[in-house]
Chain A
Amino acid sequence: MADVTLDVWKDIITPENQVYRRTPVMTMKELSYCPGCGHGTAHRMLAEVIEEMGIQSETIGIAPVGCSVLAYEFLNFDMQQAAHGRAPALATAIKRLWPNRYVFTYQGDGDLAAIGTAETIHACNRGENIVIIFVNNGIYGMTGGQMAPTTLPGMKTSTSPYGREAILMGNPLRITELVAALPGTYYVSRHSVHKPGNVRKLKKAIRIAFENQKENKGVSFIEVVSNCNSGWKMTPVKSNEWMEENMFPFYPLGDIKVDGKLVREL
């Protein structure tokens, strides 16, 4: 490291030159996610949107069971931690009892698409006026890399050590396409956070989702296809390559439903 003092940088570190800063909608707590994981970036985009909309004091978030169980440690607004899979039920009640608050859930694939399938489908079908952020990395990360409902065919996990065999273990579930088919969803979109361009698109989508809630449009559902380098047993770089080659063909990025209308075939 070069021995530099602040003095050297004083003309450069100025408000005009600032391109990056911490959002006060995130806490100072160090993220507990593995290096290379996408959760931190997804959290940050969410926090930036909430800051930019000026709704920190009106936002109530719900953390799931899974790697993001401790999301409330990092996000600086009121949050509840839900039982495994039940976040959309919590969100339903909170939003109906506090209709002037912004309510969102943040859930992983095991939480949202396996144990919480009923709560997901029914909250979406009722058209609850909430935002659902669904982070899909095709694996149970926190419990040590077991097969998830979204695990791809042939993919090795600790409970499919020889690869997921569809005939025995079932097929991966595209729950995002499933909820897009329901009348209660207004906006359904799939994103990633592995490249700056994708991060910017995700942020735009989150903004749309919260603006929809402001106008009582129903469910806005955003999937973030993410990596799990620890669970996939790859380096972060390799896991992102693997994700592009294998996850994206099965979980294609982009809008699925906009303004209550399907914009591509399911």
Chain B
Amino acid sequence: MGDFKLMKGNEAVAEAAIRAGCDGYFGYPITPQSEVIEYLMAQQPEKRTGMVVLQAESETASINMLYGGAGAGKRVMTTSSSPGISLMAEGISYMAGAELPCLLMNVVRGGPGLGTIQPSQCDYFQTVKGGGHGDYRMFVIAPASVQEMSDFVKIGFDMAFKYRNPAMILSDGVIGQMMEKVELFDPIPRRTDAEVIAECPWATTGKTPDRERNIITSLDLDSLKQEEHVMHLKAKYEAMQKEVMFENIMTDDAEYIYVAYGSSARICQKAVDMARAEGIKVGLLRPITLYPFPEAELLRLASQVKGMLAVEMSLGQMVEDVRLAVRGKIKVEHYGRVGGMIHSPSQVLEALKSQIIGG
């Protein structure tokens, strides 16, 4: 029998962190994700597993605590919301440059600026295209349910360590705040110090006489070496492409499809049902990973369907990647509410009719 609980998405992430053998959580409160650190503090994970939880003085400090902890081989994570992630951008770039694994989550709220505390998906560019300076990518995974909030913590840590790179759960205020049934996975014990040293021979765990000193840095003043390093990062990002995850919902006979992730995918699922009831053959392609992006699957669908509508709570960000993927074969448009407003299934259906079917 599984361990079932009714939880908020943010709480599920916090519980999953403890169960995933996380060594340290460092965070700073910001709406709509403060439940993560509140849940952790209430759970006293230092007693459950020995996990360290610390409320930092800022998001800047949080991400740099992750840099230190990850550089020392530990499984570390932080969570924040849009403005906080902007503050972390420098540190994320450093971690990608220094090849440090960590798990991040952005429970996205409407921007720009202080914006609103209501849900949004307006940080796609920031997350998938960079955010910080320099050529780097993150593994990005977008949950559409509380269950996935829990499950993706484990996947995120695995990917971060597999590629020695930051991994990001790109959530939003809907998924973070809503309550659903979740089946919690069995706890994975935290690694012992000896296991950390064995798993991370590159980490600063203390220079024993049997090895050279380990250095964690993103700096190389020799441009030729720096170029080699960036090309090495590129090779990692290329290797990461095989980790792509997506979900097809009623796409087999579809003439039109929605492309949507996270809470927009949930809304589109309802719109698919409504359209089918009217006799319109609509499906949904839900990218689960946003980096890597399901380009090949979209290209395949482009030869089958007449048009695609990218639905996201933004002015149109992911839609650019959908257009790139289909290489101009079919019409691709965008629909989405912004500023913390959430589109309804009927609005999404109307948009399909006016922008794609009739447009």
Closest to A62 in B: B68
Which one, B13-21, B162-170, B208-216, is touching chain A?
B208-216
Interface residues of B in 81-107 (CB under 8 A from A): 90-91, 94, 98
Report whether A82 and B52 are in contact in the complex, using a CB–CB cutoff of 8 Å. no
Contact, CB under 8 Å: B204 / A82: no
Q: How far is the CA of A78 from the CA of B208 in the complex (A)?
A: 9
Least CB separation from B68: chain A residue = A90
* Residue among B24, B64, B214, B219 making CB contact with A97, cutoff 8 Å: B24
With A79-B215, A82-B64 as known contacts, state yes or no: A89 contacts B56, CB within 8 Å.
yes
Write out the residue numbers on chain B whose beta carbons fall within 8 Å of the beta carbon of A119: 57, 60-61, 64
Question: What 0/1 readout, one digit per residue, does chain A (52-70) give for beta carbons within 8 Å of chain B?
Answer: 0000111110110000011
**A77 near B57 (CB under 8 angstroms)?**
no
| Bound: A81/B52 CA distance, A | 23
B57 touches A97 (CB 8 A): no
Stretch at the interface among B71-79, B243-251, B344-352: B71-79
- Consensus secondary structure, chain A interface: helix
B206 near A60: Cβ-Cβ < 8 Å: yes
User: Which of A58, A72, A96 is the one whose CB lies under 8 Å from B217?
Assistant: A72
Residues from chain B with Cβ under 8 Å of A90 in the complex = 64-65, 67-68, 71
- Count of A-B residue pairs with CB < 8 Å: 127
User: Please, which residues of chain A bring their CB within 8 A of the CB of B91?
Assistant: 83, 86
The answer to the question of B218 belonging to the interface, with a C-beta cut-off of 8 Å to chain A, is: yes
Q: A98–B205 contact, CB under 8 A?
A: yes
CA distance in complex: A58, B98 (Å): 22
- Supposing A57-B208, A86-B91 touch, asked if A81 and B217 sit within 8 A by C-beta, the answer is yes
| Contact indicator B215/A78 (Cβ below 8 Å) | yes
Assembly CA distance A80 to B73 (angstroms) = 12
CB-CB < 8 A to B62: which residues of A? 89
A57 in contact with B74 (CB, 8 Å): no
The verdict on A96 contacting B213 (CB below 8 Å), with A89-B61, A118-B61, A119-B64 known, is no
A101 at the interface (CB under 8 A from B): yes
Give the distance in Å from the alpha carbon of A93 to the alpha carbon of B90 in the complex. 18
Give the A-binding residues of B (Cβ under 8 A).
23-24, 26, 52, 54, 56-58, 60-62, 64-69, 71-72, 74, 76, 90-91, 94, 98, 193, 204-209, 213-219
Q: Please name 23 pairs of A and B residues whose Cβ atoms are closer than 8 Å in the assembled complex, sorted by A.
A: A77-B207, A78-B214, A78-B215, A80-B216, A81-B216, A83-B90, A86-B61, A89-B65, A89-B67, A90-B64, A92-B54, A92-B61, A93-B26, A93-B54, A93-B76, A94-B71, A97-B23, A97-B72, A98-B72, A98-B206, A119-B61, A119-B64, A121-B57
